Amino acid sequence: MIPGVRLVILGRQGSGKGTQCVRLSRHFVVPHISTGDMLRAAVREGTPLGKSAKAVTDAGGLVNDEIMIGLVRERLSAEDAHERGFILDGFPRTVTQALALDEIGGDRGVELAIDLEVPREVVLSRLLARRVCRDCGANYQATGRDPRPWICDNCGGDVVQRDDDTTEAINNRLDLYETQTQPLIEYYGRSSRMVAVGGTGTPDEVFDRLTRAVETTR
């Protein structure tokens, strides 16, 4: 079997990161750990975390580092992540989170961070057209000629616009990405764990570039 991997995928929201992370997790047979999905599940279930996170995520802000680090620490201690590795999607988003992740991982920590590069103008229009399945999280793009009600091809769930996909929240997230998350490129670069991969092109082309980036750094 192909060896596992311990990867962080950076990239603006709307870069196609989520879909590529799902494919990467199947390819390398490691769990896909998306902190955004974990928060959305908490909101749906109405847990105390979900209740406190909802207003922040809807406004396009960042949930407190301490909360996020606790969530990821717990998830990474599960057996699946321990054995073969993980694909982290949406975490870390700040240097504080990256430092904590290195401390949590120890000598089984992140081996490589990949920056999936897609220009801001491109992601802005994709995010405005983004629709997601409320149940399984599958992503779709609205064309203006969409079915109503829109039912997910994968699981039959409702396909909707995310509460945090308003123009204002999207711009907030893109600004925060530049100030809070882009410094991680330098952070991982300092330890030679950073590669950039072009995120434009067909999903298959991007996926090929991503797997090649992993293979060439092994």
Using CB under 6 A, which of 11, 31, 85, 90 touches ligand AMP? 90
**Would you count residue 14 as binding ligand AMP (CB under 6 A)?**
no
Q: If residue 209 lies in a helix (H) or strand (E), which one and from where to where? A: helix 203-217
In terms of CB distance, is 5 or 88 closer to ligand AMP? 88
Q: Measure the CA–CA gap between 45 and 65, rounded to whole angstroms.
A: 21
Whether residue 190 lies in the annotated active site: no
Residue number, nearest CB to ligand AMP:
36
Using CB under 6 A, which of 11, 16, 31, 60 touches ligand AMP? 60
Q: Which residues of 103-115 are buried (b: 16+ CB within 10 A; e: fewer)?
A: ebeeeeebebbbb
Could you write out the three-class secondary structure of 16-69? CHHHHHHHHHHHHCCCEEEHHHHHHHHHHHCCHHHHHHHHHHHCCCCCCHHHHH
Cβ–Cβ < 8 Å for 113, 8 = yes
Q: Measure the CA–CA gap between 33 and 25, rounded to whole angstroms.
A: 9
Whether residue 17 lies in the annotated active site: yes
User: Looking at 2-10, 31-39, 75-83, 201-209, which segment touches ligand AMP (CB under 6 A)?
Assistant: 31-39
**Would you count residue 86 as binding ligand AMP (CB under 6 A)?**
no
Using CB under 6 A, which of 15, 20, 25, 57 touches ligand AMP? 57
In terms of CB distance, is 39 or 195 closer to ligand AMP? 39
Catalytic residues: 17, 93, 130, 162, 173
Please give the residue ranges that form the binding site for ligand AMP (CB under 6 A).
Answer: 13, 35-36, 39, 56-57, 60-63, 68, 90-91, 93, 97, 164, 173
